[in-house]
Structure 1
């Protein structure tokens, strides 16, 4: 197969030896088709783009492991298909975990509001939240307790989405440390806004 007048096997050999131009030509040639292919599996163009981009990053990083003896097209499509199925599997597992947790929260006596009034856990929660900076506490509360998405929080507070993600990550690190004896509660905080 010819890509921009160059034999594909020549481009693959050049890519394996570290030629970024050859890699870019292969990327530009296969990227649109791989996006359409992956989006048929995951039913989301944005997720398909992320899957394909991640795959090409790995391809470049592990280019020395590639053999030039087989069809690059077959390799690319098989790899993206596997990555797409792995994405679906991960999403399904996450969905199931959240559904199970919601059921536990609904049925288990430990999640009844009255138990937390004037309880040790309420004191521990208050103490843990006081360890957060005011901005981190605000961002985390809007996310996990207010149910807002990161984009919505960023817009509401005039922050970048990346800053919001960093604040939430920092809050979870501190709360993991401060509430290590309350594992189920921590799990709930981490899953609430996934």
Structure 2
């Protein structure tokens, strides 16, 4: 059996382990660096579970408050990413339970989280993938990129986009379809990113 290789993550040019140690000692700058690095990915991750961006943001923000309050109990030699994503996953599931989502829905969600790549924390922090996504977006015409961003990242409906940009709904649908074709071509070797689209 092969031994797992530990990869040292650097944030702002500083090893994550050092930042955790500094945060434990009350260094707010270290905490801020960790927050800025992990927050966006954790929100997207939580949004995939609770299906509500506002709730996801609140869950993650609340988690970071607790993280700061309980910073002394963290272990700097354990991967922080695993701890963060597991904690946010558990908080998200508990949120669903609190709003009385049916048990079978939660069980299905848990099953998906075990098998589907969109629940893999790596895709939310992997710099290479983020760079590939940004590069792929540069291949989109400006108007197409604007419409696709409003649709997939801002959560607007096709009708809302059409109204906002003074376009026909059909034009919006065509532009989104064109964006998907281009992105799928550009990201064909990055299955984890394609799952978003």
TM-score of the superposition, structure 1-length normalised?
0.48
Larger radius of gyration: 1
Higher relative contact order (CA 8 A, sep 6+): 2
Structure 1 or 2: more helix by fraction = 1
Q: Could you tell me the TM-score, scaled by structure 2's length?
A: 0.47
